[in-house]
Amino acid sequence: MSTKSNSHLNCHNPENNLIPSSVKLDEYLINLEQEKQNLIIEIENNIRQVNLAFYQATQATRATKLTQKQLKIEQEKQRSKTRSLEQLINFKNNLVEAQTQEINAIIDYINALTNLQQKRRTLEANAAKLTRTHYPRRNIENTS
């Protein structure tokens, strides 16, 4: 009979209640660290994407300027009859293609910046939520 009462007492022992709580806390901290690492990876990827998009936009702008110069030279040659109208039209088409690529590269850059901005806002919102959830303001009157 005494063993029965001892086992009954062990169920309500505060130390037994701490074990599951500490395990839950450990799991929570592990999950929190994993989320942190995932966010860091996502942000690093977003930054790489912004840098890549910027580089591509810069290169596309250079290509457009070069194509414009080529077209100007070809227009001069066409005026002096050393180039055919068909060749001039091909250079004009090349310019349109270069301008289209430049516009697309700039749009990709803006999209990459927007994605990074959204990730930053999400991170800030989650940090604020985490702070409010786990570190609520204390009433100064109650702590005295």
**Which tens digits make up the pLDDT trace of 53-103?**
999 999 999 999 999 999 999 888 888 887 788 888 999 999 999 999 999
Residue 61: partners with Cβ closer than 8 Å, 6 or more residues away: 102, 105
Q: Give yes or no for residue 3 having a pLDDT over 60.
A: no
Cα 57 off chain centre by: 18
Alpha carbon distance 42, 38 (integer Å): 6
pLDDT digits (tens, 9 = 90+) for 17-37: 556 777 888 888 888 888 888
First to last CA, the chain: 48
Q: Is 82 within 8 Å of 34 (Cβ atoms)?
A: no
Return the axis-axis angle of helices 14-79 and 85-134, rounded to nearest 10°: 160
Give me the residue label for tokens 């702070």: 131
